[in-house]
Structure formats: C-alpha cells, structure tokens
Structure 1
C-alpha cells in the first residue's frame, strides 16, 4: 500500500460535478471487515469490575421486572373477581415496588456504564493524539491537517454512543429478552411459539440495514473530514489572507457549500436508512397480539387460558418489542461504526518511523560538549528515487560554527532536519559527542539541539505562555533574561499587557523580525548546546536582519552552531563553510579560502 493510500484509505470516487463520493473504496470495505470485535472488546478490558457490576444490576433489574406480569395475572384472576382488597393492596404495592426498584437500578446502571464509556473515549482520544505526536514529519506532510482533526473529533465523537452504551445495551436487552421469553413460556408455551415468528424477518431486515448504514457512515465521515479541511484552509489567518489577496473567497464559499450540501444528503440517508425497517417491524409486532387472541380462541387452546394469563402474556409480548428492537439496533449501530473503528485503529497502527531506542544511551544535556559529526550520511525522502543528501561527511568541533550554503534544493534543510532527527538517515550516522542520535531519547535530543527556522510558529496564547512552551517551569525572571538576550524585552514591556499580551493566531500580532526574536528567546530558555539556524533571516529586511543577527550572536555564544543561509554575508565569519550541490558537499573551508579557490562558493558570492 502506498503512503498516500495509507494516510487516506477512505478516498472515494468523485462524481461528474467534482465533489460527491459515489462509493466507498475497496480499501475502506476491507478495513471495516478487518476490524476485530475482540479488539473493540479489548478497549473495555481495564473496566471488568464496573462492567461486571453493570451486568449484575441488569440481571437483577430484568428478573425483578418479570414479576409485574405475574402480579397482573393475580390481580385479574383472583384479587378482582374475589374482591380481596387486602390481596389487591399487596399486589398493587408490589407493582409500585417493582417499578421503584428497577428505576433505582437503572440510574445506577446508567451512571456506571456512562463513566466507563467516557473513560474509554478519553483513552482513545489520548492514545490517538499521543501516537500522532510520535509520527515523523513525513506523515504530516502527506496528511491533511483537517483529516487528522476530523478523525480525533468527528470519528471518535461518532463512536461515543456505541462505546458508552453498546455493552450495557447488549446485556440489558439480551437479559430482558431472555427473561421475557422464559416468563412467556411459563405462562403459555403455545402462544410463545406464535410470538417468535417475528424473529426471522426482523433479523433479515436488520442485516440489510446494517450493511447500508456502514457504507453511509464511512462516506459521511469522509465528507466531514473534507469539511474540516475546508474550514482549516479557509478560516486560518493565512488562508483568509490568501483568499482575500487572490479574490478566492467566493470559490471557498462554493466549495464549503457543496461539501455541506453533500453532508446533508448523507445525514438524511443515514437517518432514513432504518426507518422503513422500523415501520415494517412495528406493523409486524402490532399484528402479533391479534394473532395471540386468535390463537387463544382456536379449538386447541380455547378454555385452557384464563383471562389474566392472556392479558399478562399480551403485556409481556408487547414488552418484548422494545428490548428485541434494541438488541437488533445495537447490531446495526455496531456494524455501522466499524468504519469509524477502522479509521481510528488505522491511525493507532501507523508505524513510528522515528522512535525512541529500545535501550537509550543515558545523556545529561548539561554535560554535553556539542561535538557534531556526519559520517557518510545518505537520506532519501519516501517515494523519491533521488537522494536528498548523499555521502555527507562533516566534523563540527564543540563550540565552533558550520555554515551550509548552496542553491535551493541542494539539501541544506534536509541536513538540518537530520540533526534534529525529524528524519533518520538511510545510511551513515550522525553523532553528538560520539553518540549516535538514534541511540538517544527524543526528549534528550530536543534538550541538546535547538532549532530556529524561517517559519516561526507561535501559539495563539500570551507571550509568557509561548516562552514557557519551551520550559514550563521557567520563572518570570528567566523569561525576562531570555527576552533581553534576544533583544525583544523592551518591545514586550512597552505593550499594554506586557508579557500577558496575546500574540494572535500564528503570532500575527508581531512582525516577522519580532516573531524571530521571540523564537530566539524561547530557544534560549532551553539552553541547547547545538543550535541550528535554518534560513532564519532570509525573509527579513536589512534593518530587522541586523537586529535579529545581534540576537543570534548572543544565542550562539559558547554553542555549536549550524547555519543555513542564502545570504552569504550572514555566514562569512563561520569557522567552516560547506557548499552543497544536489545533496553532496562539493567544497568546504573558510570564507577566504573558498573565495581564493574560485569554485562554486566564489560563484555564489559573485
């Protein structure tokens, strides 16, 4: 299966109007079939005790409730004809007592089962979110953000009713059906045979509806994902700016409207899919009492049943409709939800491409010197036939600086990503103080390697919260010291709310240079021994670049620094400069030596 298929297994065919899915894909149907009921049941393994209590409550409630028809029969056959008010009072009190006890048990059952269901939902949400946090950058490059959000919110939300009520619904309805049938047999086994003729058509209709619901559910969730993507792309600050500058707002509205309209159609089809079944079953169940009365009058049964028995049996048979339909509806819901479980389990089953080692090397970030070495490193992006970097050998002693230069696409940013282990090399190794990066825990590596890139991402929160994102236990004094070093403190202090100023979506409250200096302050809080500057000033004007460069100089003091830049003026003072071309180092040395060599670097500097 290709990466795209793995990330988007539910992609369907588009109709001629360029939007609606006409069917689910074979991959989706295969996934739904492969979802194991045992695996779904495994979600409840940690809750055996509460579930056992729920089952006990359900059994007790069902058994107690079965006393009502027998009490009713006694009322009709004895208490009323014999005018026995004492017996009648006891029987009526018994009926009220049965109702009260079953109501109390029902409240307890609902509380326990809902709590269990919500804990399972919580675990699913956190497991999916945690597992996705461990995925490589490549996964998020291939996957739409709206798709990921839809699976965590819409898909898991769609599973909520099934997860929170399925187990208890099955137990409650099954117990009630069994107890009701036993009571019916106890009253009249002949009339019981007449009543069960409804089961074969009910089961047949249910299976047909279940298959239809599963397909509609899968298509609906895919449409919800598309809607999420449209919202994410159209209502983010960057998306709104793009739409306004390109005059594409009307196109986005049309796209959203079409997706919403398709969703309306799917929701209607989902709701109506089982209504004709319910109508058919209602007619069948309504006809059963009439058949029972007819059966009671046939020569073989006439005179063998009392009026009380007939009334009690009819009441039981009527009560059989609700749990039986509930049991069949659980089957429909469970089958329909298989598509949701398939989508969630698919994410949980994604392999972790860049993972913590099984036996990590213990590393104290405070004692790391920062000696960085590349040994014959080669890496290709998935699906590419050409290596992004090939046979790279570099030695960067602790406390020195390395500049990577070259044309766009030469492999500079790929090397930066490999240093921070956003990817692992296909061949060769990268070491820090002689330790392979793949032998370090990701958290330890993040404490050693700090990255400041051109694309500065700030959370929609206060300045203080954005800085503490790097070091949650940082004091206010730590924040101020880092901001001063990054030459951004005075600007923050001049704001009406100071460090409590909300930066806005993606930091749009600040200019590009201000965001860069906030990113530098954030990195300073972590105090990494190795610093990677990935074209961090390429989008800034000259004056802003000077201010940011002064902050970089402060940040780089005493650290091993790897700088990637298009502007050679920013790297001329590096201890060594490596020139890349098509993923290979074609020359290296100092600024002066490379100029004197009159090779590729000299051509770039010209």
Structure 2
C-alpha cells in the first residue's frame, strides 16, 4: 500500500511495547516501540509503578500481562480500482485498527488515502478482500448501521456549513430537535476547541444563524466546527481527513488535544 502508517500520539497506543534497551539512570522514561510502525519510536512512559524500581526487568516480571485490544477493524487483502484507472489504487491491503488506537495515515496525493477512508466509512465497497467491523461485514450491519459506528470529517472542500443555527450545524447527523444533554455536550466541546469565544460574540449564541445568509465563519472556525460535528456523532472510529491543515500551530495543538480526549479510536489523514 502506498500510504505509510505510523502512530504519532501513542500515549495510549495498544500496539506499543517496551524497547529492549536498558533503563536510563536519568529521570526520563525509557522509549517504547510501536509494532504498528517499522521505524517510528512513538511514545514514552514511566517504566515502573513506584520510585523504588531497581530494574525494568523486575518491573516487567511483577506486572501482569496486558491483554491485546479487541480488533475494531480488520482488513484482509482489500483491493480497489477506480473506473478511470487501469491499476488498482489499493491492492492486497491488510491491516487492523484496535480500540484506543491513534493512527496517522500519510502518503502523497493519489496514493489511496481518501479511497481507504471511503472504504472504512462504507461509502465504497472493496472489489476484492474483506473489511470487517467487530468481525462482521458491512452487509451484516447494513449501510446505516456501519455508518453509525464509523464517521469521517471529509477534506475541507468536501465539507459544508448549512444555512441554519450554529447548534444545528454542530449536531448534524444526530436527532433534531436535540436533547438538552446533547446540547450541553456540544457547548462543552466548543469550549475545548476554543470556539467558545466565537459563540460568545454571536448575539444568539448557539442559536445564531450561520451559512451563506448568516454569520460568516473563517476557515479555521469551519475546520473546528467540522471536527466538533464528527466527535459529537458518538461513534467508535473517528477519521479526520486533513482536518488540521487550516489551523495555526497553537489552535492545532488545542484541537488535537480535544480529539485525543474524545475519540475512542482515531485515524488522521495527512500529507507528509
């Protein structure tokens, strides 16, 4: 597969294992190696549960083994070819996504990233191989059942702000009129994403009309709206396709922290 997988935020990566390097005498924790990547060293943690640790090996012996995370997605030999191409954009592609995974999918334009996203979300069907969710195929769940469990924020030019209230755009895809609990959750998520200042400026708050004839949003505000909309779906796998591209570095760090706090499993698509 042309795209390259690695785990950039592996503080809770279920695929990480301690490196075999001897523990350092400094206060820094030993590095850990991610089995989902051939080269990336992806996270670091304290090696022992107490300050009285004598060696990493003794701590390993005392610690109970961690059971492997349940596979959320299993792809086996997935192949897909666009009608206008003679060669498949994805060929014999196999991988797993476990609950709690944080995965960065990188690759050049035309490398099959967006095609893979469309297969994961059920918008396309593999022409070869199988894509399983909780060991069941898409036909078992049905199209709507599959999409209730996996959702994506498309690339900026493919996403939209509809003419309606800010709350309506946040909760697009959920029941409407919405419940007070979901509205409260949406307001809290806006605060985490730094959108609370925008909401405070609007005369009607979350009920302010936005869109072509309403309050105009900047690119960065729209991007965070799309991220919030995706997180509010309450799905098992969140996919963000170039969602951080239009954010400045500080806003991007705030948005990333929010996404990591709320996504049960996460795939972020980006150019190298």
Aligned pairs (5 A) from 1:244-259: none
Identify the residue that residue 271 of structure 2 maps to in structure 1: 566
Aligned pairs (5 A) from 1:436-585: 436-455=137-156, 456-473=159-176, 474-486=178-190, 487=193, 488-505=195-212, 509-556=216-263, 559-566=264-271
Deviation at 1:501, TM superposition (A): 1.2
1:89-140 superposed Cα distances (whole Å, 9 cap, x missing partner): xxxxxxxxxxxxxxxxxxxxxxxxxxxxxxxxxxxxxxxxxxxxxxxxxxxx
Cα distance, 1:392–1:458 mapped onto 2, change above 3 Å = same
Contact 1:370 1:399 in 2 (8 A): no
Deviation at 1:434, TM superposition (A): 0.3
CA distance in 2, matches of 1:406, 1:495: 39
Contact 2:223 2:246 in 1 (8 A): no
Contact 1:520 1:551 in 2 (8 A): no
> What SS is found at the alignment partner of 2:188?
helix
Q: How many residues get paired?
A: 197
Aligned pairs (5 A) from 1:16-415: 371-415=72-116
CA distance in 2, matches of 1:548, 1:390: 33
Q: Which runs of 4+ in 1 moved over 3 A?
A: none
CA distance in 2, matches of 1:489, 1:380: 44
Contact 1:404 1:562 in 2 (8 A): yes
1:526-558 superposed Cα distances (whole Å, 9 cap, x missing partner): 2001111111112333233223223322332xx
Cα distance, 1:524–1:423 mapped onto 2, change above 3 Å = same
CA distance in 1, matches of 2:146, 2:214: 26
Contact 1:458 1:507 in 2 (8 A): no
Deviation at 1:523, TM superposition (A): 2.2
Q: Which has the larger radius of gyration?
A: 1
Unaligned runs of 5+ in 1: 1-368, 568-606
Contact 2:77 2:93 in 1 (8 A): yes
Cα distance, 1:421–1:493 mapped onto 2, change above 3 Å = same
Unaligned runs of 5+ in 2: 1-69
Deviation at 1:511, TM superposition (A): 1.6
- Bigger fraction of residues in helix: 1
Cα distance, 1:504–1:525 mapped onto 2, change above 3 Å = same
> What SS is found at the alignment partner of 2:145?
helix
Cα distance, 1:386–1:396 mapped onto 2, change above 3 Å = same
CA distance in 1, matches of 2:107, 2:227: 24
- Bigger fraction of residues in strand: 2
> What SS is found at the alignment partner of 1:440?
helix
CA distance in 1, matches of 2:119, 2:94: 13
> What SS is found at the alignment partner of 1:442?
helix
- TM-score, with structure 1 as normaliser: 0.31
1:146-191 superposed Cα distances (whole Å, 9 cap, x missing partner): xxxxxxxxxxxxxxxxxxxxxxxxxxxxxxxxxxxxxxxxxxxxxx
CA distance in 1, matches of 2:71, 2:95: 14
Q: Does 1:421 align with 2:122?
A: yes
RMSD (Å), alpha carbons: 2.2
Cα distance, 1:383–1:439 mapped onto 2, change above 3 Å = farther
Contact 2:227 2:240 in 1 (8 A): no
Deviation at 1:493, TM superposition (A): 3.2
CA distance in 2, matches of 1:493, 1:421: 37
Contact 1:484 1:490 in 2 (8 A): no
